[in-house]
Amino acid sequence: MKTQRPGAVWAVPAFAYFLVFAVVPLVLVVGLSFTHWNGLGLPRWAGTANWSRLAEDGMLGASVRLSLTLTVAAWLFQTPISLLLGVWAAGRC
């Protein structure tokens, strides 16, 4: 007897989770990047002033390098550990 694979509707919870916890915060952060806001009160529209200041910031290069270094280091350590844990958890087929 052939078993059928679950339909695409099974992916809805994963897509909803991704939408709520990844896409919505990203859109909100991009929107806030065009405002002046200290976390209290209402944000005030700033247009592209924040982005112009960012382009002129001398620490931008160092910040990007540090972010990339941490991303690569996390990937180098987490990926092998995750694969080993996944193979161990799957057990013998």
Based on the domain organization, do 7 and 51 belong to the same domain? Answer: yes
Residue 3 has pLDDT above 90, yes or no: no
Residues forming beta bridges with residue 44, ordered by sequence position = 36
pLDDT of 85 higher than 70? yes
Question: How far does Cα 60 stand from its chain's mean position?
Answer: 20
Number of domains the chain contains:
2
Q: What is the pLDDT of residues 14-66, one digit of tens each?
A: 999 999 999 999 999 999 999 999 999 999 999 999 999 999 999 999 999 99
Say if residue 44 is in the same domain as residue 12.
yes
**Closest C-alpha to 46, from 54, 34, 55, 38:** 34
- Same-domain status, 44 and 29: yes
Q: Does an H or E element contain 12, and which?
A: helix 12-18
Same domain, 38 and 66: no
pLDDT band at 93 (very low <50, low <70, confident <90, very high): low
Coil/strand/helix, residue 57: coil
The domain of 83 spans 60-93
9 and 33 housed in the same domain? yes
Q: Are residues 67 and 48 in the same domain?
A: no
8 and 35: one domain?
yes
- Are 51 and 64 part of one and the same domain? no
Kindly state whether residues 4 and 44 are assigned to the same domain: yes
How is residue 43 written in tokens? Answer: 């944000």
| Same domain, yes or no: 29 and 1 | yes
